[in-house]
A and B are shown apart, each in its own frame.
Chain A
């Protein structure tokens, strides 16, 4: 069975500081990995995805993530936080079988301090 663990339910950084949101996964097959963002009262929007190509993945809004198989991690980073980055972030895993069932982590709420 696949699972995702997001370390830290709440992360707070200052505007302009580095953003680091942690995600570790468990999967019995090579995974596809995703980061989604959810703004208040909205659905989920895809930030970026890893599908077995380059291990460093660049997404929208300046975010990127690195797939590290040895650490079973897929941490999300952004060099300089902006106030508009305040949202809930979810890491998710699916399998290569194409079933398209995503298993989500519990989410990390990112707060940006002015």
Chain B
């Protein structure tokens, strides 16, 4: 049973460019959340997708956008990249049913902005 998978694992961009990160949730899971983890910090919530709609959003600018597809996979898009966007981007999924906040994380996509 595959867990949460993310791609790419590493990527380098320059300021002003755009990036798309991809996530496939664990089998049977229907909700996907994205977190940003800056170096030496705890993960910070970006947004959550359920039934192909953004359900909750953290304190991130509109440059950060996302999408969820009918197969529950998800994308995170970041436009007009800034140096401060350099971080590990983590995708997490959770199963349907009673929500307890338990999340299953992927290994992340490490973005470096030069």
Which residues from chain A sit less than 8 Å from chain B, CB to CB? 4, 32, 34, 36, 41-46, 49, 51, 90, 92, 94-95, 98-107
Contact residues in A for B56 (Cβ distance below 8 Å)? 99-101
Interface contact A103-B106, CB-CB below 8 Å = no
A43 touching B94 in the complex, CB below 8 Å, given contacts A100-B101, A107-B41: no
Given A43-B108, A100-B94, A101-B56, residue A49 in contact with residue B102 (CB < 8 A): yes
> Could you list 19 further interchain pairs (A-B, Cβ under 8 angstroms) beyond the known A34-B101, A43-B107, A102-B103?
A32-B100, A42-B107, A43-B106, A45-B105, A46-B102, A46-B104, A49-B101, A49-B102, A51-B101, A90-B43, A98-B99, A99-B48, A100-B33, A100-B94, A101-B45, A101-B48, A102-B43, A103-B45, A104-B43
Nearest to A6 among chain B residues (CB) is B42
Q: How many pairs of residues, A versus B, come closer than 8 Å at their CB atoms?
A: 71
Question: Within 8 Å CB of A101, what residues of B?
Answer: 33, 45, 48, 56, 58
Taking beta carbons and an 8 Å cutoff, which residues of B are in contact with A?
4, 31, 33, 35, 40-45, 48, 55-56, 58, 90, 92, 94, 98-108
Q: Taking the nearest CB of chain A, how far is it from the CB of B100, in angstroms?
A: 5
Q: Is the CB of A43 within 8 A of B58?
A: no
Tell me the smallest distance from the CB of A60 to a CB of chain B, in Å. 13
